[in-house]
Structure 1
Amino acid sequence: PDSTKQHLLVARKEMLLALRSMLDRAIEKMEEPGETKGRRRSKIKVQ
């Protein structure tokens, strides 16, 4: 039915908006000044 189709379209849009919001926040966190959180690379001598 048309009501089901409309409901699925609205739900799809909401999922995409939620994904956009999560991506925007992740980008903001990456652009924040300060130390990076994570391990730093180091050289390992190989014989």
Structure 2
Amino acid sequence: MDAPAAAATCRYISDWVTVKTRWQLSTDPAEHAAIQRIAARCDNPVITVTLAR
């Protein structure tokens, strides 16, 4: 994967996790494993999430 595609993928997975966390949505084991696999190739940014009410 080239750098622009990698950066876009990392941004997408970060946004995905933010939305799932904000709305307290569950993940099944396959989704969780995919998120971990993809995120392992990314930097480790801090994500701040405000939970939805």
* TM-score, scaled relative to structure 1: 0.48
Bigger relative contact order (CA 8 A; separation at least 6): 2
Higher helix content, 1 or 2:
1
**In terms of Rg, which structure is larger?**
1
